[in-house]
């Protein structure tokens, strides 16, 4: 474990990614650094002597990592258990990335409100958002929204079922100096809100980053195609998309085929790289694909739009 407990040369958050199966015996452990906090997440029920030795080694490494607090999260327990092993949590803990701050939540559930593996997606969005009307589907705590605003987005619409997640997203917006920006937060089910989303305008850029499985609202194999088929009614005639999938049992080819079958006019522009520190022995669980969209000639949306335009407009 020693090679992973040194300060990284870059700004990565993930120090060790056992889930990538690159170190036999430690597939159930990840280490994340959100200075001054080091977070150890255990997905397997390691024997107590091994857990105690691991905690002691991590506490010893804290000063060299610029940290003073160790948090252990036990994902193998139901419900997941998060406990402070050493030190104390700051009153307001943050993850910092590319000059932006994202609030961390250690109080509710197993997710901290920030996904470090999506750093390349946020960087891509920031580079492509200038002057764009952005729709952030399944927005959770709206990290994509903050990145879009930092990139100069004209408007951002966030939609997610969770009101607490959206509230955290609004706090992120304000903390980064975007309090006066044109941003909407919709605490709704995406599948029941197409009319509302359409009323807020056609979008130049849409982010689709759904949960792989969320009881009662979304199951990736069943529902992803339904989302893609709805997008042409929301997209501007020329637009961009970031299509994401975090499901280890489904590969990138599955996602590309899904887009090809359900979103005519979309052309793959790039497959984004993995985030630093998320080393994988096989294909990464997270897939993030950038697409360009041009509305097909003769499509229903395009025909209605042309029919409604005045001559010479």
Domain boundaries, the chain: 11-91, 116-306
Q: What is the pLDDT of residue 306?
A: 37
What per-residue confidence (pLDDT) applies to 303?
43
Q: Which fold has domain 11-91?
A: Transcription Regulator spoIIAA (3.30.750)
Q: Each residue of 47-61: b (16+ CB within 10 Å) or e?
A: eeeebeebeeebbeb
Instruction: Give the model's pLDDT for residue 213.
Output: 78
Residues 6 or more apart whose CB falls under 8 angstroms from that of 278 comprise: 14, 17, 20, 116, 117, 284, 286
pLDDT at 1: 65
- CA atoms within a 13 Å half-sphere pointing along the CA-CB vector of 168: 25
At residue 310, the pLDDT reads 34
Instruction: Record the pTM.
Output: 0.91
Domain spanning 116-306, CATH architecture: 3-Layer(aba) Sandwich (3.40)
Ranges of residues in the chain whose predicted pLDDT is under 70:
1, 300-313
pLDDT given at position 80: 86
What pLDDT score does 215 carry?
73
pLDDT at res. 311: 31
């Amino acid at each position: 474990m020693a090679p992973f407990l040194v300060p990284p040369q870059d700004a990565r958050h993930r120090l060790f990614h056992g889930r990538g199966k690159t170190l036999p015996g430690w597939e159930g452990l990840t280490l994340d650094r959100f200075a001054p906090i080091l977070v150890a997440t255990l997905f397997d029920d390691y024997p107590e002597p091994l857990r105690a030795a691991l905690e002691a080694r991590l506490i010893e490494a804290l000063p060299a990592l610029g940290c003073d607090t160790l948090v252990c999260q036990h994902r193998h327990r139901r419900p997941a258990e998060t406990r402070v092993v050493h030190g104390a949590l700051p009153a307001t803990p943050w993850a910092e990335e590319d000059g932006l701050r994202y609030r961390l939540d250690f109080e509710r559930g197993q997710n901290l409100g920030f996904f470090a593996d999506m750093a390349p997606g946020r960087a891509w969005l920031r580079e492509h958002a200038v002057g764009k009307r952005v729709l952030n589907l399944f927005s959770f705590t709206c990290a994509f929204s903050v990145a879009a605003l930092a990139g100069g987005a004209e408007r951002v619409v966030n939609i997610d079922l969770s009101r607490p997640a959206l509230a955290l997203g609004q706090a992120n917006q304000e903390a980064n100096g975007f309090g006066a920006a044109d941003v909407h937060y919709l605490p709704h089910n995406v599948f029941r809100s197409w009319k509302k989303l359409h009323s807020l305008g056609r979008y130049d850029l849409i982010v689709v980053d759904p949960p792989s499985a969320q009881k009662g609202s979304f199951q990736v194999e069943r529902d992803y195609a339904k989302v893609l088929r709805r997008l042409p009614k929301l997209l501007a005639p020329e637009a961009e998309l970031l299509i994401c999938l975090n499901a280890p049992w489904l590969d990138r080819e599955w996602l590309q085929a899904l887009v090809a079958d359900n979103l005519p006019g979309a052309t793959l522009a790039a497959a984004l790289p993995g985030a630093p520190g998320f080393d994988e022995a096989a294909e990464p669980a997270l897939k993030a694909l950038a697409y360009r969209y041009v509305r097909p000639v003769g499509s229903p949306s395009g025909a209605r739009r042309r029919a409604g335009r005045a001559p010479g407009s």
